[in-house]
Structure 1
């Protein structure tokens, strides 16, 4: 084995160990740290809740009723009926929402719909804009909590966005529920405590108008939540995490829908990280932006199943390098990385995940891992190239965000 190959393996092992260590620090901070008390801080100005919707006529009512119940006098709901072919616009108007309709099939994606809403609001901007999805529900008080904190801190604020498995779902979806919570609850809680920053996780996001007014969200980026996060951080408007404010949704039960959802996140996040994370880290170090440094390193960590597979492959390659050369350093580093990641996941499950994934459902782990094959198959890769809605069934809701 050549010297250059050995150096490469050491570099990969060191990188894997560094990312596993960062993951372990996030989990430890989530378990051991304490959340900041936010209290009741209502925003001084009006709030607009922006809800992009694509063919949601039969399912949007619970979301609008839930949001309307938490609005104050002067607050508004703005539904963007985006490339709809059903009666979404009429249904939303009947439920008291302001509705704008967007029809542009050549530019599909939630980012375009959000930008359409911001352009509409520009003539009379609100104090705070809240983004949520047409299938999400705010826990009591959560909407005003994130809006008030965004106004008080003059920074964007992200609620804890959780997804649950349908009641009839089997163990595989219970594993998916834990994996979702691992990134949105555990990792984001730890990242917040370590670096005072979090990601936009897709719904339940409030931001002051000044942080959004100069943005262009219509990029067509598949993982628009990650792109918006890094853009805001570079503008010195790093989002803060509000774990006491909870937003919930439900996984689609259809296998094809799950594949599209997971492919968009897994492949899209890997692609975005490869393009942006190193540059964001270097820029953060050069400018001394602590939040940007933490967010960039966090962005380098792949989704959990992919990261685990990468570490296992690294251990195997380094083992054969040890056999061939007698040099065991890279193998030891790779083993430590895998052990750190494994302990971190078990610790996170023990502290935060047993309700979502009870011991009786652990048998679903194998089926969950097996399902990831389709994510990286032809159908999954095709889904990740362009934005496509993910359906529960005919006429039902879109699912469009993160998953492990």
Structure 2
């Protein structure tokens, strides 16, 4: 027993290295898989007869019209667009009523957030289906400020209807300015929403959900646990649907895009909401979801949860560098080389993954020289992560996009 106790600190440090390096090595595996030729391209499927688009909109009166016009151009006479004007204090509902769409308004003092608006919209579709005797075949969720790629709606609706699974289109964001900080954020989004899901898809694994460009078969939509005020409600929904037997499927050739907030205030608010929401999922629900997935015949769900547990790349890089320096000191002082080797493997793996992703998917966005300078920019995010510990954001706040 004394010998075991003496070895306990070394074992705990080694476990710590595995926990820190594991997400980085998973990202490397996803990037390497994504580099392979597409072996699982989705075929063309027939378009379903009835598509319903649910568009939650909170104070989107200034930006709603272009998205509505694009959506209506891709739909037919048997389809429906339902705009949920959620807790609006502007003319969002009036703007939407100028189009041939259904508009409902929702007001609630405490149940605030996109998830509640989505649930309200699907419940309204259920009511309309009872009245008309016709339910939609597929429900598509679109943000009110996104840009639709060609054939986005019929394509993801057809895939969802044919496979019986939720479908996520490739969702990318572009920088409103050409500064290095904005382009690094755009690169990180490409890695998160395109490269890593593509790698998962290459081996038949589910992807996450990213909030817009999502299609659900009707029977999945009505039982989906949409009502949530979580800051990362889309990430939460993707994992919970997998638990219900409906893991999301990536449709890479369908695209939807939007633009990062242009103002510094809006960018800070947007980034805080995303990253605090991600970390809240990781810390609050990650261990439970991981445990639930460690059961027989749940390998795909386990890997989906592990993908969700990968921290934001900036934070992961900071953790790896800091942990590796600590392990170097312990190795020199105590001779604990194994934890250092694991930490170094994670650090090298993450660096290799980032370089490979830049060369294949972001050469138009960043040079290798700029990528080398990126860590200096990422240091500015340290206060954001510290606020998660001392004063995390828990309430959903709309991003202020304009200057």
Per the normalisation by structure 2, the TM-score is 0.92
Paired residues of 1:175 and 1:364 also in contact (CA < 8 A): no
Q: Deviations over 1:99-120 (max 9, x none)?
A: 1100113221000100100111
Mark the CA change 1:153 to 1:262 in structure 2 (over 3 Å): closer, same or farther. Answer: same
- SS of equivalent residue, structure 2 residue 30: helix
Mark the CA change 1:176 to 1:364 in structure 2 (over 3 Å): closer, same or farther. Answer: farther
Shift of 1:336: 1.0
The gaps in structure 2 that reach 5 residues or longer are 130-134
Q: How many Å separate the matches in 2 of 1:9 and 1:279? A: 23
Q: How many Å separate the matches in 2 of 1:315 and 1:370? A: 17
Q: Which of 331, 341, 354 is the equivalent residue of 1:322?
A: 331
Shift of 1:9: 1.0
Q: Deviations over 1:324-383 (max 9, x none)?
A: 212211111111110011101110111111123345754762564143134235599757
Q: Deviations over 1:29-83 (max 9, x none)?
A: 1111415333432333311111111111121111001111100221111110001
Q: How many Å separate the matches in 1 of 2:290 and 2:139? A: 28
- What are the within-5 Å matches in structure 2 for residues 41-80 of structure 1? 41-80=45-84
Please say if 1:20 is aligned against 2:20. Answer: no
Q: Deviations over 1:193-240 (max 9, x none)?
A: 234200001110001011121233222111001110011000110010
Q: Which residue of 1 aligns with 2:89?
A: 85
Q: Which residue of 2 aligns with 1:139?
A: 149
Q: Which residue of 1 aligns with 2:132?
A: none
Q: Deviations over 1:262-308 (max 9, x none)?
A: 12222221221223233323323314123201101111211101111
Q: Deviations over 1:86-132 (max 9, x none)?
A: 11101011022211100113221000100100111112131100011
Mark the CA change 1:13 to 1:377 in structure 2 (over 3 Å): closer, same or farther. Answer: closer
**Matched residues, number:** 393
Q: How many Å separate the matches in 2 of 1:59 and 1:208? A: 28
- SS of equivalent residue, structure 2 residue 239: helix
Q: How many Å separate the matches in 2 of 1:377 and 1:276? A: 20
Q: Which residue of 2 aligns with 1:160?
A: 170
Q: Which residue of 2 aligns with 1:109?
A: 113
Q: How many Å separate the matches in 2 of 1:112 and 1:144? A: 26
Shift of 1:191: 1.5
Paired residues of 2:55 and 2:142 also in contact (CA < 8 A): yes
Q: Which residue of 2 aligns with 1:402?
A: none
Q: How many Å separate the matches in 2 of 1:381 and 1:144? A: 45
Of the structure 1 ranges 342-351 and 259-268, higher mean CA displacement relative to structure 2 is found in 259-268
Q: Which of 277, 280, 297 is the equivalent residue of 1:271?
A: 280
Q: Which of 189, 192, 197 is the equivalent residue of 2:198?
A: 189
Q: Which of 183, 187, 201 is the equivalent residue of 2:210?
A: 201
The gaps in structure 1 that reach 5 residues or longer are 395-404
- What are the within-5 Å matches in structure 2 for residues 219-298 of structure 1? 219-298=228-307
Q: How many Å separate the matches in 2 of 1:273 and 1:121? A: 33
Please say if 1:120 is aligned against 2:130. Answer: no
Q: How many Å separate the matches in 1 of 2:391 and 2:334? A: 41
Q: Deviations over 1:120-161 (max 9, x none)?
A: 111213110001101111111111111100001010110000
Q: How many Å separate the matches in 2 of 1:364 and 1:79? A: 43
Paired residues of 1:267 and 1:381 also in contact (CA < 8 A): no
Paired residues of 1:188 and 1:198 also in contact (CA < 8 A): yes
Q: Which residue of 1 aligns with 2:344?
A: 335
Mark the CA change 1:56 to 1:383 in structure 2 (over 3 Å): closer, same or farther. Answer: farther
Per the normalisation by structure 1, the TM-score is 0.92
Runs of 4+ in 1 over 6 A off after TM superposition: none
Q: Which of 299, 318, 321 is the equivalent residue of 2:308?
A: 299
